[in-house]
Amino acid sequence: MTMRSVNPATGEVIEEFETLSPEQVEHALDDAARAAREWAATPMDERCALVRRAGEVLRARRDELARVITLEMGKRIAEARAEVEKCAWVCEHYAEQGPAYLAPEEIATDASRSYVAFQPLGPVLAVMPWNFPFWQVFRFAAPALVAGNVGLLKHASNVPRCAVEIEKVFTEAGAPAGVFRTLLIPAADVERVIEDPRVRAVTLTGSDPAGRRVAAVAGRALKKTVLELGGSDPFVVLDDADLDEAARVGVAARYQNAGQSCIAAKRFILVEAIAEEFLARFRALVEELKPGDPLDEATTLAPLARADLRDELHQQVQDSVVEGAVVVTGGEPLPGPGAYYAATILDRVEPGMRAYEEELFGPVAVVLRAKDEEDALRLANDTRYGLGGAVFSGDPERGERFALGIEAGAAFVNGMVKSDPRLPFGGIKMSGYGRELGREGIREFVNIKTVWIR
């Protein structure tokens, strides 16, 4: 069986990869189990040094790796370079802060001494998506390796070259054999790997249906999971907001990565008093977006990662229009080769429409109109997802009060939702559970052990 690397901008096959045989997977799991024992016994400073060197390799190969990302996944080359840089940052962060995050914590009890220790679990399987093909992996791998775990990567089947190059980064950084391994296997083989007793935990970033499947398998095997799933993030504009700034940030928050981000602004919730003014500014900026070759620096709207994703997005838009939504701009696939879709604004979206109920994973902004601030918060929370949310207000304290009411794992005031190695990242409701990044992220895949001494 093979995996194909296809250029989303042209539809051309770049290369093909042979998937691993059952025997090869068995050897990889054996290697991981052996490496886990040795890596856990490796001093923390050596583990940090490896992850720091991985960041140095990323920076040294930035332009080359960015081109791999753009050719295989389709994002703009500037975004791809920024993604590689962010991966280097997360490596640096955990190399620097990992020892403090995992330092034993003394607790006063009836013992002569009692404390909490943080010890590695062993091989962790990461089931990762294609939309940020390097970042999603490194935000798991950097803390996992610093903590003393080893990594097994099952990447999305449409980014096999990225998966291979990520393993090479760790190899070039000097990782011992088995400490980080890419498994080129089809989705049908993932269940068997999760069930294998040599795998101790699982992390997945993907859709909520994928999360349910992985969690069910891992649950039967009593294995820890972290799930970062879909999102339908609200982008709320209150009546005292700086509309020019909100519109500018809103375009970046919705259309970066061609809208293919779990934490992209999906639902623009506008207080009625400023709805028309905001939309006029927002539409003008959206219509300036320039589709084109993602390797061209002048391009500001990239293709979607696959043609089937573009077709599904268009069906969601069409169905919503039939149900009463209004296309303000866009609303159509773009002609020519590649999986391009016009930058789109859908207004007058109401409950029951597909655009209201579902996540739209592409360059489509959904507009909901709220009577007032209270109604805006109701709409913001009227979703099965809870990953992130943003609110814009001229009064930061008012914005903070609103943000605290958003049912999500992250809430931003006067800024777009983004991940940061220093802050925990994850969701609630159907957006999953557990956290990545920050202190909380590195502690997800450790044994939090009580030690009591008299």
Contact call for residues 405 and 205 (beta carbons, < 8 A):
no
Please confirm, yes or no, whether 262 is among the known catalytic residues: yes
Instruction: Tell me the C-alpha distance between 283 and 289, whole Å.
Output: 10
Nearest to 331 by CA among 319, 320, 343: 343
Residues 345 and 279: their CA atoms lie apart, in Å, by: 9
> Is position 228 annotated as part of the catalytic site?
yes
Tell me the C-alpha distance between 339 and 245, whole Å: 30
Query: How many CA atoms lie within 13 Å of 74's alpha carbon, on the beta-carbon side?
Result: 34
DSSP β-bridge partners for residue 396:
none
Catalytic residue among 262, 358, 359, 407: 262
Nearest CA-CA partner of 330 in 265, 385, 254, 387: 254
Residue with tokens 């920076």: 59
Catalytic residue selected from 228, 373, 407, 436: 228
- Nearest Cα neighbor of 405 from 394, 391, 392 is 391
**Catalytic site residues?**
228, 262
